[in-house]
Amino acid sequence: MRKTIPLSAGWQFLKKAASVQEAVEAAASGEAVCLPHTWNAVDGQDGGNDYYRGTCWYIRELSEEEAAGERLFLEVNGAAMTADVYLNGKMLAHHEGGYSVFRVELTEELAQKNILAISVSNEDCDTVYPQKADFTFYGGLYRAVNLISVPAEHFELLKDGTPGIKVTPVVDLETKTAFVTVETWHNAADVKITVNGETKTVEHHAEFTIENVHLWDGVDDPYLYTATAKLSSGDEVSARFGCRVFHCDPEKGFFLNGRSYPLRGVSRHQDLKGKGNALSYEDHASDMAIIRELGANTLRLAHYQHAQEFYDLCDENGIVVWAEIPYITMHMSAGRKNTLDQMRELITQCYNHPSIAVWGLSNEITAASAVNDDLLENHRLLNDLCHRMDPTRLTTMANVFMLEIDSPILEIPDINSYNLYFGWYLGELEQTDEFFDEYHARFPGKVIGFSEYGADANPAFHSSHPEKGDYTEEYQALYHEHMLQMIEKRPWLWATHVWNLFDFAADGRDEGGKHGENQKGLVTFDRQLRKDAFYLYKAAWNKTSPFVHLCGKRYANRAEEETEIKVYSNLRLALHRRYAPCKTDREDGVSLPYPADGRAPDRSSCR
């Protein structure tokens, strides 16, 4: 039987580069830490762009019980950004890429006493992405590290961090039938595969038919099936899967299971105030609860592969996901292999998640690089890799607003999206509308989306005359009011993702009254405060929980005689619109609030 042993406690952490011998000898002088762990939880979030980027060591002795098992593997769910694994002083694995799972077999090197030493580095280099971007490149073993003991005959554990089982459901909506292909990788003679109560014994792969299939239908009904594979040795793996069909129409946008399903949502980085990116399952789950409260039906999980448990949460909650690798901002000619490695691992490890609809090739990669042959070829190779590994999903990329809409790079992915910040970094809000209308008019047969947009807001900053660049909650709300209306008039935008649902760490930033934070979030970095703009989208998207939100509650010191109270709600409200200070027009002298402009109270619905 397979046994998974979490190695969370008992690690000695050394914040220095050293040889493995030196590190093991110095282990006792290190800091006792538990995993998940990052060494940038503080300095990566406090501004100054001076967080520690270097090589550190994690050392742990394995107990006799932990080291038992016919075949013993180490599983690392996230080591940023590169890692070397040593057992008893011998190097067993090197991994490049800070966001994917990798495993290494320990069996042959086990001894009476077993010292595990993992060196992890987030120092800059020109071969591993990301190297230039607007977020902190935290270093550390920031996700779970496990031992996996399996019998001699077991499912594949090493190749690209594979789950050992791959499930491809193909749905015929006409007949409400799903044709499910299950492929497995193992070293046994045969395998028993079970889907929907039917079991087949095969060498490696089996086909199943599910009549009257229960669809995975987005947030309304994210139904999941489970495929299980079992060897006679007792080793067993399983994968949940969802049966759905989707496509993008250049004129009508995104379709799920044959119906128009505009993808309207947000982006998320995987970090939290005070914890860096060393998140617990509870942290992931509470983020998902906020996403469900907002009413988003899609997430762009930027700018890298997120934790498996978060894609699981998206599967369970019916959230359609844009998954991507951190090929970002600046193209590195020596980084081509790493982009292909990271994409191959992302698809190998995340293929079974029904929530994922698209693979993102890159983000604003022309922001700091010319569109040259090397960059174009890197994208062609990535695009081909995605199509070879996964013909069931679409490829896309998020383009920087400066990229000409007739750039050859836009010909590579299946569909495109732009990150636009008109009305924040430059220009006026209306230029967003003009940009998309020009693109759509010029390329009516091409699918286009809105992969990023946002404005920073510090909840302590307020103004009765909000303007671009003032970092006030009021301007952020006005910005998003415009964008929401722009989007609602353009159903052909296949997906739109607010940048960002949460404030996040960008240690190089020092603005808007905060050090080290990008404040475009609709929610603060500590998740404690929902800014007014959060409720604008909740009013537009949340169909299940009635609410009324009065904006400006934090705008305490107001100078004006007269003030505006803006209300966001998903209820159709009859509201008076404006009130002057009390003045009376009644014989009885009772003074009532009265419309400031003297007109009869304007009863209107409002968001």
List residues near ligand GCU by CB under 6 A.
Answer: 133-134, 303, 363-364, 419, 452, 499, 518, 520
289-314 CB burial, b ≥16 within 10 A, e <16: ebbbbbbbbbbbbbbbbbbbbbbbbb
Q: Smaller CB distance to ligand GCU: residue 55 or 399? A: 399
Strands annotated E in 185-284: 191-195, 198-202, 205-210, 225-230, 236-241, 246-249, 253-256, 259-260, 263-268
Distance, in Å, from the CA atom of 427 to the CA atom of 448, rounded to the nearest integer, reads: 21
Residue 487 Cβ, how far from ligand GCU at the closest point, in Å? Answer: 17
Would you please indicate which residues are annotated as catalytic (active-site) residues? Answer: 364
Residue 494 Cβ, how far from ligand GCU at the closest point, in Å? Answer: 18
Phi, psi angle pair for 339, to nearest 5°: -65, -40
Selection from 419, 352, 25 nearest residue 165 by Cα: 352
Selection from 291, 303, 304, 224 nearest residue 264 by Cα: 291
- Residue 207: left (phi > 0), alpha (psi -120 to 50), or beta? beta
Question: Could you tell me which residues come within 8 angstroms of residue 295 by beta carbon, excluding any fewer than 6 positions away?
Answer: 537, 538, 540, 541, 542, 543, 544
Q: Smaller CB distance to ligand GCU: residue 287 or 364? A: 364
Q: Smaller CB distance to ligand GCU: residue 241 or 422? A: 422
Alpha helices in 391-472 (DSSP H): 430-442
Q: Smaller CB distance to ligand GCU: residue 119 or 419? A: 419
Query: Across the chain, which distance is largest between two alpha carbons, in Å?
Result: 97
Q: Smaller CB distance to ligand GCU: residue 43 or 452? A: 452
What six digits make up the tokens of 556? Answer: 């305490």
Cis bond upstream, residue 91 (ω within 30): no
Residue 265 Cβ, how far from ligand GCU at the closest point, in Å? Answer: 16
Q: Smaller CB distance to ligand GCU: residue 96 or 452? A: 452
Residue 425 Cβ, how far from ligand GCU at the closest point, in Å? Answer: 7
Alpha helices in 45-89 (DSSP H): none
Nearest residue to ligand GCU on Cβ basis: 134
Phi, psi angle pair for 187, to nearest 5°: -115, 25
Distance, in Å, from the CA atom of 272 to the CA atom of 539, rounded to the nearest integer, reads: 26
Residue 255 Cβ, how far from ligand GCU at the closest point, in Å? Answer: 27
Residue 539 Cβ, how far from ligand GCU at the closest point, in Å? Answer: 24
Distance, in Å, from the CA atom of 326 to the CA atom of 415, rounded to the nearest integer, reads: 18
Residue 345 Cβ, how far from ligand GCU at the closest point, in Å? Answer: 21
Q: Smaller CB distance to ligand GCU: residue 146 or 419? A: 419
